[in-house]
Amino acid sequence: MEKTTTDTSAEVLKVIDLSSGDSHSAGIKPITFVRQVITGCLYPRILQGDTLPPDARQRAQTLLQQLDGGSAGSYTESCGSMYVRNTIARSISLRDGGVLSRPDGVFITADTQRALMVMLRLLCQSEGVSAVMIPDPAPHTLARLIDRVGIASVPYRLQETSGWSLERAELNKAIQASRVRCSPQAIYISNPGNPTGAVQSRESIEDVIRFAHVERLFLLVNEGFSLLMLVFCVVLQEYQNTVFADGCEFVSYKRVLAEMDEGFSQSVQLASLHSLSNGIMGECGLRTSFMELVNLDEDVMLYTEVLLTGDLCPAVIGQIALDVMMAPPHPGDPSYSLYIEEVSSRLKTLQCNVSRAVSFINDLPGFSCQSTQGGVFICPQLSLPHSTHTHSQPMGLLYSRRLLEDQGVCVGFSEDHTHSHCCHFRLCVLMPSDELEEVLRRLQCFHLKFLQEY
């Protein structure tokens, strides 16, 4: 997409979107093995030759055998192919050190929003005003989704000055203040944080689980940015992942829950959400996700399946990609070396980009940005003098709109309702390094001009 800027030179700038996390649109190339298997499933005739490597051909043939009519154009079960759900369950169990994962507890959906909508409608049917606790800042689509479902949201503030940590005291404060107007039924967690990049420690996760147990809240945990971690766990039997801060390691909510006392592990209910769109893979256009449900009654599991039957089935191409991503090439396979090379290259690019962007933005007057522990976003804060608020628009909206118009850079934003002179921006930095340098150059050019103007 191109856009003519308002600059007097009438320069034409390519619009660069940092708001959505769509890394492929920013120039990151898809993983070869994923696309080879998809190609074999969509065009089976290619499997008769040697165009594809042997393991890609074998994977495509195996997947086609699991599909009705041997075609990717056929429907699967409403909650996804049981074959793919078995693949996902085995990978989750391996990730979590052998903690059992049941394929009938795994539900493949069109995207995480669809899964969240189903769970929220299922949970929030009590009398009075139902609500869900959500982080602040939160994923940019979350508030709109909750509004669509017709329930209330109860924000809990993440502690920016301590690396966007999630504090039990803040959770207690938020839920107590909410009870005069609504009844929270669930708490939404993003780990690694979207857009903050914070990774919860085991101790922090245990604290949240205890809070959910005391307050009888359902845990909705989006662990989509951990998908690469799960993949590498399967391939290399170790964690080489999108968590890049020293001394920081990803551990899933399910594993922590399973390793706690039975009073928690057998009673706290959990939905863990993952997506092809998130993380190092970035297959946004394939629009496929999965969720695993833990500790739900069989009747509730059945009702969840009923709610999902209206979709007929998730996209089969996305299910194929999920199967490949959850069980990628292993050492000794013909495609293993290229697969590891491609994923490692993306990880290295991400790590370098995070370091470069955080350092650069912290040098811009008015900006501050916490070090990022994981994920593909950074979340800088902009704090400007009160003189900027003479304009009728909120500062975040004004700044992001002008940045798009003047420099063709699209960023997400959230206003700080506690401090009117502050706002936060959401920037995806998983892109080729030269593209990031162009973004930073444009941002600096606009920012200094904006400061002079105001």
Q: Where in the chain is the domain with CATH 3.40.640.10?
A: 75-326
pLDDT of residue 417 exceeding 80: no
The pLDDT assigned to 233 comes to: 47
Compute the average pLDDT of residues 355-373: 95
pTM of the full structure: 0.90
Q: What is the mean pLDDT of residues 313-331?
A: 93
Whole-angstrom Cα distance, residue 124 to residue 397? Answer: 32
| Confidence (pLDDT) at 242 | 53
Average pLDDT of the residues in 112-141: 87
Contacts of 135 (CB under 8 A, 6+ apart): 155, 156, 158, 166, 188, 189, 190, 193, 196
Taking only the tens place, the pLDDT of each residue in 169-208 is: 999 999 999 999 999 999 999 998 999 989 999 999 999 9
Q: For residue 11, what pLDDT is reported?
A: 61
The 3-state DSSP class for residue 77 equals coil
Pick the range with the lowest mean pLDDT from 167-171, 232-236, 261-265, 378-382: 232-236
Instruction: Check whether 295 has a pLDDT greater than 60.
Output: yes
**pLDDT tier at 2, thresholds 50, 70, 90:** very low
Quote the percentage of the chain above a pLDDT of 90: 65
- Residue 239 above 60 pLDDT? no
Query: Which pLDDT band holds residue 430 (cuts at 50, 70, 90)?
Result: very high
**Structure confidence at residue 243 (pLDDT):** 57
Assign 156 to helix, strand or coil: strand
CATH fold group of domain 75-326: Aspartate Aminotransferase; domain 2 (3.40.640)
8 Å CB contact between 335 and 33 = yes
Q: pLDDT band at residue 6, thresholds of 50, 70 and 90?
A: very low
The mean predicted confidence, pLDDT, of the chain is: 88
In percent, the amount of the chain with pLDDT more than 70 equals 89
User: Can you give the pLDDT at residue 128?
Assistant: 74
Q: What is the pLDDT of residue 347?
A: 86
* Structural element, H or E, at residue 160: none
Question: Hey, what are 404's tokens?
Answer: 């798009």
Q: What is the per-residue DSSP string for 166-182? A: --HHHHHHHHHHHTTT-
pLDDT confidence of residue 390: 52
Per-residue model confidence as pLDDT tens digits over 10-21? 467 889 999 988
**Comma-separated ranges of CATH 3.90.1150.10 domains in the chain:** 2-21+344-453
Q: What is the DSSP string of 192-228?
A: S-TTT-----HHHHHHHHHHHHHHT-EEEEE-GGGHH
Question: Is a pLDDT exceeding 50 seen at residue 309?
Answer: yes
227-242 average pLDDT score: 45
* Mean pLDDT value of segment 132-148: 91
Res 41 pLDDT > 70? yes
Out of 139-148, 227-236, 436-445, pick the least confident. 227-236
2-21+344-453: CATH topology is Aspartate Aminotransferase, domain 1 (3.90.1150)
